[in-house]
Amino acid sequence: MFTRRNILLILIVLGIASCCMPVGAVLQQFTHRGMVTAVDPVQGTMTLYATHRWGCSFQDGTMTCGWIDIPPVRVTGTVPDPAVFSVIRRGSTVEASSLGIPGGTWIGLGLLTPLYPGGALVATDLFGDPGSLPTPLAADYAVITATQPDCTACTGSVCPAVAAEVSVSHAGVVVHSAVLLPGAESRYSDPADHSGISVTFVGGQASSRLCPDTPPTMSGPQPVSLFLIHVDSPASVPAGPLRPGERPGFLVVTSFPLGGTVYLDGDTAGTTFCSIPDLAPDTYEIRIEKDGFQAWTGDVTVNPGKYSRVNARLQPLYGSLRISTFPPGAEISIDGVYEGDSPLVIDDLNPGVHAISASLPGYQTREATATVRAGQTSAVTLRLSHGSPGDMLYSSPR
């Protein structure tokens, strides 16, 4: 019978490997995506019919990563936790990561589902090391984890983890953080869209580089930890009864930038990116609100058995001002209010003309004006002089 004891044995093997492998022997990660063709709870294995692999490429100094089509291949590995078998079944679409070789031992598994029929995939459940799985979480959640080492029990490049720091973001904003001991769980529920997320730290490893006595040349396999993460989707918004024999529709609402609160006929429906299923065919009013941006309002028609989409570009209310001086370190005031020392960027300024003052001991105070436009960053560079008024080198936009 497969139990979590298997994971402990895997972590022990990785720890032993870290002292037996050559310096710098970080294990290569393999990440695949595809459909589950076989599960064996007794042996603790899962077989994936992989059609994609995660890869990165460099061009002109820029790294681009994404899923790459591959000839279909079957890959088998031991699952990171027996809870996998209560969620992932034959026919499920998953992402799976392993170290050293494709398969063998899955260090991360994610259950994937489309945002809407034929749409992009998101992960609703993660098992293993979340840093090894690239697909974004459902409901616009993101989780960052950092494990803390027991520096008295390190083996090579890894140590047992005594705790894990967990940070949860929703729509790009950090909404929850916690420090979890092995076996502990932390939950967050969003009051606006009624979505939620749970994070359990089962156990794992941390890098020995975090310990004060670790030699700076220490290298070896990367630490691996086991987390269980589950996302509850936003609650559906009731939108009127269906007529007999009528099929519901589906609505997807997104905005640029993301993170806007969505209102459907005046009722809160979620936060962009937002999916609203089971809607009665009808025309609805959509309103999207986000701090620092003008509210967006529009109508959308939902048809029976189909999905509709709203893409809203939110218009910013404010602009920014980037100020530099020669020499640097001058005290900068905007409209008579001290903002800081140059160089600096001042955000959330109302559009229009603003008065700038730059002063530095030993130099003559420099006065100037700059025009700020909504959604833009205006740049001003000033030269300060000992004996004559400073000169404005340039200002943009002009």
pLDDT (tens digit, 0 to 9) for every residue of the chain, 398 residues total? Answer: 555 555 444 444 444 444 444 445 678 999 999 999 999 999 999 999 999 999 988 877 788 889 999 999 999 999 999 999 988 999 999 999 999 999 999 999 999 998 766 678 999 999 999 999 999 999 889 999 999 999 999 998 999 999 999 999 998 889 999 999 999 999 998 887 788 999 999 999 999 989 988 887 777 889 999 999 999 877 655 555 666 667 788 888 888 787 889 999 999 888 887 778 788 889 999 999 998 899 999 999 988 877 788 888 888 999 999 999 999 999 999 999 999 999 999 988 999 999 999 999 999 999 999 999 988 888 999 999 986 444 444 445 54
Q: Which pTM was predicted? A: 0.58
Chain Cα centroid distance, residue 251: 23
Could you please report the per-residue DSSP string of 347-384? Answer: EEEPSEEEEEEEE-TTS--EEEEEEE-TT-EEEEEEE-
CA 342 – CA 345 distance, rounded (Å) = 9
Q: Is 73 exposed, middle or buried (0-12, 13-18, 19+ CB in 10 A)?
A: middle
Chain Cα centroid distance, residue 199: 15
Q: List the structure tokens of 322.
A: 């980037």
| Enclosing H/E stretch for 20 | helix 5-20
Distances (CA, A) of 66 to 69, 137, 139, 185, 224: 10, 16, 20, 31, 22
Q: CB-based contacts of 233: which residues, under 8 Å, 6+ apart?
A: 124, 138, 139, 195, 275
Number of other residues whose CB lies within 10 A of the CB of residue 131? 19
Q: CB-based contacts of 149: which residues, under 8 Å, 6+ apart?
A: 159, 160, 161, 162, 205, 206, 207, 208, 210, 211
| Enclosing H/E stretch for 191 | none
On whether the CB atoms of residues 203 and 184 are closer than 8 A, the answer is no
Eight-state DSSP code of residue 17: H
Q: List the structure tokens of 123.
A: 């992960």
Beta strand spans in 82-129 (E):
93-99, 104-114, 121-128
Radius of gyration of the chain from Cα atoms? Answer: 27
What domains can be seen in the chain, in order of their start residue? Answer: 5-232 (no CATH), 249-313 (2.60.40.1120), 319-396 (2.60.40.1120)
Chain Cα centroid distance, residue 53: 20
Distances (CA, A) of 33 to 48, 91, 94, 142, 249: 8, 13, 6, 20, 29
For residue 201, cis peptide bond before it (omega within 30 degrees of 0): no
Strand partners, 367: 357
